[in-house]
Structure 1
Amino acid sequence: MSNFIGLDACRMGWCGIGQIEGKLIWGCFKSFENLIETYPALKLILIDIPIGLSSKHASRTVDAKARTHLKRRKSSIFSPPCREALYAKNYQEALKINRKITGKGISIQAYNIIPKIKAVDEWLSEKPNDLNIYEAHPELCFKTLNKNIDLKYSKHDKTGLKERQSLLFDIDSNLKSVYKDLMTTYKREHIKPDDIFDAMSLYLIAKKQHSLQYIADKNNEDERGIPIRIVYG
């Protein structure tokens, strides 16, 4: 069994739930270097961050296709900035660069996670060769886990959090103690319940390992040759 982890961004850095040699692991990590130092045996990462970006000579269009897989929660999938915009000094400059290269603007939501998109994009060229890292989207994963039915409520309200918690814990009751430990160990300014639940959804999908399902389209590779595809099941 491959050693794997599901990662979701949190204020501290990254929240991860996974398995090493069949044993559950979890925690928060400030960086990828910190994660790999802690768990050097990892072979597979599913992460909720864009991988493979638009640039001057390539277009990322998979996000539009991914939205068609969702009904209620499709607004949770946004188009990431182009690679050049990652190095802008501020939002206005990033907006200008992105419009010039892609013809589109950048949402504030997308702009706010530029540091994490940039960190992943740069780390891809440094990661161990035997480590596979794939983009995944929690809402798509939740739909798969929920018998291919969209979740009814947003994760940003109590009803939505309860909906996600019930689904996850029904599938794997071991996640109850993981959730309790993460909520006890880390302060709320470092991690929130929805960060944990999103990481758990990726973890449960990552358990499939060799039968992962992807959303992709004709623009399935970026300018650097990085595959553009989103794991959903």
Structure 2
Amino acid sequence: MIVAGADGCRTGWVVCRRDADGVLDIRVVKTLAEACEGLLILAVDMPIGFVDVPRPPRACEVEARKLLPGKASSVFPTPCRPALDGTTHAEANALSKSLGIGLPRQTFHLFPKMREVDALMRGNKALHAIVHEAHPELAFARMNGGKPVLSKKRKPEGFAERLGLLARHGFDWTPSTVSGAARDDVLDAIAVCRTALLIAEGTAKRLGAEHERDRYGLPMNIWF
């Protein structure tokens, strides 16, 4: 049984694969489609499924923020589907505003990755059983007894705290350079790889109702 977690990085996606013996393989791929090959479950830190209007937001996001007091801002607001067509922040923001609320610039910077995941999932229904949306801070909170990890992962103490949590839950990683990915991207990929394992084992938790789907039938759930 091979599971994996993926997080977007500057050169594509950093992917942590875990085999049946618990051995981790971490590498960077250009497309998420490459990361899906030979997997039972892939947990990805990127939205799957989009509402048609920005308000109300996806239920899973609202639930995620409630579970992360002090860290709720790590759950970026997912854009409504029409705004995804915007080619500039100004255009996407105007589209979103016309439907109810504006769009943060930070969210717009994730549009290329969001579009990639959306096209992949809409183009291959078989992936609906394999690819699941996850969130690293929810994963770390679960490893931390349900308490959000409030330290910043880009700071030495925050990095070390998360590294220790991963090791205690069977995902030991000796920090090393992964070409094309920042160290905190690797941490997040490993964290959601643990979520993928929990999904495969049937012990993961799901936010958002099972029947929550967007107009294309894509699930709107976050797993941890």
TM (normalized to structure 1)? 0.85
Partner of 1:78: 76
Please tell me whether residue 3 in structure 1 is matched to residue 11 in structure 2: no
Q: Is contact 2:122–2:218 with CA below 8 Å preserved after alignment?
A: no
Structure 1: gaps of 5 or more residues: none
Partner of 1:25: 25
In 2, Cα distance between the equivalents of 1:104 and 1:53? 15
Partner of 2:221: 229
In 1, Cα distance between the equivalents of 2:171 and 2:113? 31
Please tell me whether residue 46 in structure 1 is matched to residue 39 in structure 2: no
In 1, Cα distance between the equivalents of 2:91 and 2:40? 37
Find 1:117's aligned residue among 114, 117, 121.
Answer: 114
Deviation for aligned residue 1:218: 8.9
User: Quick check: 218-227 or 4-13, which moved more?
Assistant: 218-227
In 1, Cα distance between the equivalents of 2:123 and 2:88? 26
Q: Is contact 2:212–2:220 with CA below 8 Å preserved after alignment?
A: yes
What letter matches 2:222 in structure 1?
A: I
- Secondary structure at the aligned position of 1:41 is classed as coil
Aligned alpha-carbon RMSD (Å): 2.2
Once the two structures are superposed, the pairs formed by residues 55-134 of structure 1 within 5 Å of their partners are 55=52, 60-101=58-99, 103-127=100-124, 129=126, 131-134=129-132
Q: Is contact 2:171–2:190 with CA below 8 Å preserved after alignment?
A: no
Q: Is contact 2:46–2:114 with CA below 8 Å preserved after alignment?
A: yes
Deviation for aligned residue 1:121: 0.5
Partner of 2:153: 155
What letter matches 1:214 in structure 2?
A: R
Aligned length: 219
Structure 2: gaps of 5 or more residues: none
Q: 1:84 to 1:5 in 2, by over 3 A?
A: same
User: Quick check: 73-82 or 17-26, which moved more?
Assistant: 17-26
In 2, Cα distance between the equivalents of 1:56 and 1:73? 25
Please tell me whether residue 206 in structure 1 is matched to residue 196 in structure 2: yes
Partner of 1:35: 35
Q: 1:78 to 1:56 in 2, by over 3 A?
A: closer
- Secondary structure at the aligned position of 1:123 is classed as helix
Identity over aligned residues, as a percent?
26
